[in-house]
């Protein structure tokens, strides 16, 4: 006899004004469940997860949790403000009798020491701390909302193994196809406020979804044809008994009502980039370039040639120097030795990982137009902002919506829309897939397939790399980089192993002992002390980083003007170059501060 479900949601509904966000949702979580929750950005996946976790009360429906069942929920935006250190935050989730060694094992496996001040963490570090807190107690049910966001490849693959070994039931929301395919055994699809379930993993979902849409379209066509027949009878039919006519007219009204109330799938986005004139055949040629910061080598003796139309992926652990390498290849940063030659007629568009911060009170329209009317310049031509937003799956009603109410995926889509309005023949995309739903990822892939220019892509999404790039440049550690033909899977075959985590002094990843315990092995303490110059650097770097962030904000404000490129190309290029240089200097300063802080603590 099968064990009863641990958690059940029945006929759940929730409305935030207007169209219901969730109209009729069902969710059953059995012991050992391995389910993924999928749906478009804004469809209500995170909200349904919060209802399952007991954090949001639905307008209607039942939630039943078996007595004694423990649930842990990973939110997209964790709050660590009430804690002095990361380890304090992680251990706050432990119950009496839970293993405190497991908490430290998880913290260090996720690239943290546990002694960090939560107020100084980046968004990605906060998310890793929250992931450690969620996993530490080993609950009965794990509800994980985008657990792979901001994680690098070594940690993603480590997390897959950790979740594969857990006895807890899993419900996952993720845009990472490979992650979902490897862990899920059932799929819950939230579409237009209603959940549908198949007892197969994500790998079977997309074909099933497409068949569902085809059947739905056939049914809609039959309804339209039946309405047309009834309308024809109403106009031209032979007069019959009055009661029969009244009844048939009532049937026609019912059919029309059914058509009005039919909630069709959200339209398809049309993602297109504005291409500039073709560049020369040579785009980038690097010969023997090297770059070091202090004693740390970022790039050593790298030679690579990128020609027009190439699709180059760059992969490596966090901190391996991917952004610095991109800045070297694009001429934003000068190498310590060697040379970089850029091709002729290059027009570059950069979408960096940090993303410009969107002002929460700004409307969607203002983000694109800078608050200057209802038109945006796209490829030198003026377009009404509503039409341009429709290309990126925004409704006309959302045009005046403040950014604060958008989901993470919708905000990312808005930033991509703003970036792609600029003409380019060289796309440099640093983690463009964060927070995008699967359909939008497909559309981004199609846009990149049709893009005739050159692409340099930094990504931790293994499936996306396989679909998009033609070669992969991999960090081998200690500043060494090797290029492999093909996508990520091809690289694994040629290299014989995946991407290793970058080891930082004092932050080596813990290993399980032979008994399977989670006790971290103690790192060998460093004997080196900070000199006077290093102490001065450590003291002054935070102020310099704040200055750079302020400068970047000012420069981004200049570039937010949608008319700037057409009105003053020279100023646009100068501001773009200054912004890229500030970003590179900030990345360097952050790396240096981190290295000095680790040295000081050890």
Q: 533 or 393: which carries more pLDDT confidence?
A: 393
What integer is the mean pLDDT of 173-185? Answer: 92
Which H/E stretch holds residue 583? helix 569-601
Residue 317 among known ligand-binding residues:
yes
The tokens of 590 are what?
């952050």
The tokens of 101 are what?
């060694």
pLDDT tens for residues 188-232?
999 888 999 999 999 999 889 888 878 877 776 666 676 666 666
Do residues 74 and 46 lie in contact, with contact meaning Cβ atoms separated by under 8 Å? Answer: no
β pairing state of 7-14 and 22-29? antiparallel
Q: 267 or 550: which carries more pLDDT confidence?
A: 550
Residue 226 among known ligand-binding residues:
no
pLDDT tens for residues 310-356?
999 999 888 788 889 999 999 989 999 999 999 888 888 887 655 55
Compute CA distances 519 → 105, 107, 155, 583, whole Å. Answer: 6, 12, 18, 38
pLDDT tens for residues 414-473?
888 887 777 888 989 888 887 777 877 887 888 888 888 899 999 989 999 998 999 999
Sheet with 311-315: list strands edge to edge.
348-351, 426-430, 454-458, 311-315, 471-477, 480-485
SS (H, E, C) 392-404: CCCCHHHHHCEHH
Q: 72 or 262: which carries more pLDDT confidence?
A: 72
**Is the per-residue pLDDT at 377 higher than 70?**
yes
**Is the per-residue pLDDT at 390 higher than 90?**
no
pLDDT of residue 425: 87
β pairing state of 471-477 and 454-458? unpaired
pLDDT of residue 335: 93
**Is the per-residue pLDDT at 281 higher than 50?**
yes
Residue 319 among known ligand-binding residues:
yes
Residue 164 among known ligand-binding residues:
no
pLDDT of residue 237: 56
Average pLDDT of the chain is 81
Percent of the chain with pLDDT over 70: 81
Cα 134 to chain centroid distance, Å, stands at 20
pLDDT of residue 480: 92
Structural domains of the chain, ranges and CATH numbers in brackets: 268-357+422-501 (3.40.50.300), 526-602 (1.10.287.380)
Percent of the chain with pLDDT over 90: 32
Residue 322 among known ligand-binding residues:
yes
The C-alpha atoms of residue 223 and residue 221 are separated, in whole angstroms, by: 5
Residue 44 among known ligand-binding residues:
yes
Residue 373 among known ligand-binding residues:
no
Residue 43 among known ligand-binding residues:
yes
pLDDT of residue 265: 54
Residue 41 among known ligand-binding residues:
yes
Residue 45 among known ligand-binding residues:
yes
Residue 320 among known ligand-binding residues:
yes
Q: 418 or 33: which carries more pLDDT confidence?
A: 33
Dihedral sign, Cα of residue 483, residue 487, residue 491, residue 494: negative
pLDDT tens for residues 76-122?
778 888 899 999 999 998 988 888 888 999 998 888 889 999 888 87
Max CA distance (Å), the chain: 103
Which of 18-22, 375-379, 442-446, 471-475 tops mean pLDDT? 471-475
Residue 371 among known ligand-binding residues:
no
**Is the per-residue pLDDT at 566 higher than 60?**
yes
**Is the per-residue pLDDT at 132 higher than 60?**
yes
Residue 576 among known ligand-binding residues:
no
Residue 318 among known ligand-binding residues:
yes
Residue 341 among known ligand-binding residues:
no
Q: 26 or 420: which carries more pLDDT confidence?
A: 26
pLDDT of residue 358: 73
The C-alpha atoms of residue 128 and residue 265 are separated, in whole angstroms, by: 34
Sheet with 282-293: list strands edge to edge.
296-307, 282-293, 337-342
Do residues 333 and 587 lie in contact, with contact meaning Cβ atoms separated by under 8 Å? Answer: no
């Amino acid at each position: 006899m099968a064990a009863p479900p641990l958690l059940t949601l029945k006929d759940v509904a929730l409305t935030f004004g207007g169209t219901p966000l969730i109209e009729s949702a069902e969710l059953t979580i059995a012991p050992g469940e391995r389910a993924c929750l999928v749906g478009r950005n804004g469809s209500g996946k995170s909200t349904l997860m919060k209802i399952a976790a007991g954090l949001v009360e639905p307008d209607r429906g039942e939630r039943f949790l078996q007595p004694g069942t423990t649930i842990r929920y990973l939110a997209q935006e964790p709050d660590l403000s009430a804690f002095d250190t990361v380890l304090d935050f992680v251990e706050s989730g432990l119950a009496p009798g839970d293993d405190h060694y497991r908490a430290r094992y998880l913290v260090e496996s996720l690239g943290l020491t546990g002694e960090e001040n939560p107020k100084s963490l980046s968004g990605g570090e906060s998310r890793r701390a929250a992931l450690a807190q969620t996993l530490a107690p080993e609950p009965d049910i794990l509800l994980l909302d985008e657990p792979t966001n901001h994680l690098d490849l070594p940690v993603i693959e480590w997390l897959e193994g950790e979740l594969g070994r857990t006895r807890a039931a899993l419900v996952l929301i993720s845009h990472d196809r490979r992650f979902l395919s490897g862990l899920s055994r059932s799929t819950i699809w939230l579409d237009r406020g209603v959940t549908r379930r198949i007892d197969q993993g994500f790998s079977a979902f997309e074909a099933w979804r497409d068949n569902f849409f085809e059947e739905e379209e056939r049914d809609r066509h039959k309804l339209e044809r039946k309405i047309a027949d009834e309308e024809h009878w109403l106009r031209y039919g032979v007069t019959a008994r009055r009661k029969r006519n009244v009844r048939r007219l009532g049937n026609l009204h019912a059919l029309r009502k059914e058509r009005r109330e039919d909630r069709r799938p959200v339209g398809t986005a049309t993602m297109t980039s504005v291409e500039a004139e073709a560049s020369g055949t040579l785009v980038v040629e690097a010969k023997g370039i090297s770059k070091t910061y202090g004693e740390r080598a970022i790039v050593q003796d790298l030679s690579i040639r990128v020609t027009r139309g190439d699709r180059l992926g760059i992969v490596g652990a966090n901190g391996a120097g991917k952004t610095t390498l991109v800045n070297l290849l694009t001429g934003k940063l000068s190498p310590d030795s060697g040379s970089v030659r850029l091709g002729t007629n290059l027009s570059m568009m950069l979408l960096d990982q940090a993303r410009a911060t969107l002002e929460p009170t700004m409307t969607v329209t203002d983000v694109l137009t800078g608050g200057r009317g209802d038109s945006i310049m796209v490829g030198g031509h003026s377009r009404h902002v509503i039409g341009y937003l429709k290309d990126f799956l925004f409704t006309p009603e959302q045009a005046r919506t403040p950014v604060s109410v958008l989901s993470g995926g919708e905000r990312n889509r808005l930033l991509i829309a703003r970036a792609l309005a600029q003409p380019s023949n060289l796309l440099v995309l640093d983690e463009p897939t964060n927070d995008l739903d699967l359909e939008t990822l497909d559309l981004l892939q199609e846009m990149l397939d049709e893009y005739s220019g050159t692409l340099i892509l930094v990504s931790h999404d293994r499936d996306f790399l396989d679909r998009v790039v033609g070669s992969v440049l991999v960090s081998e550690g200690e500043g060494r980089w090797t290029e492999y033909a093909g996508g990520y899977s091809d690289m694994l075959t040629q290299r014989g192993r995946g991407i290793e985590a970058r080891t930082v002094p004092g932050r080596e990843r813990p290993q399980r002992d032979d008994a399977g315990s989670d006790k971290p092995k103690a790192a060998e303490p460093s004997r080196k002390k900070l000199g006077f110059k290093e102490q001065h650097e450590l003291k002054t770097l935070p102020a310099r980083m704040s200055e750079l962030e302020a400068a970047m904000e000012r420069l981004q404000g200049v570039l937010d003007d949608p008319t700037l490129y057409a009105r003053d190309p020279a100023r646009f290029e100068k501001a773009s170059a200054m912004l890229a240089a500030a970003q590179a200097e900030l990345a360097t300063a952050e790396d240096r501060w981190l290295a000095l802080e680790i040295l000081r603590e050890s």
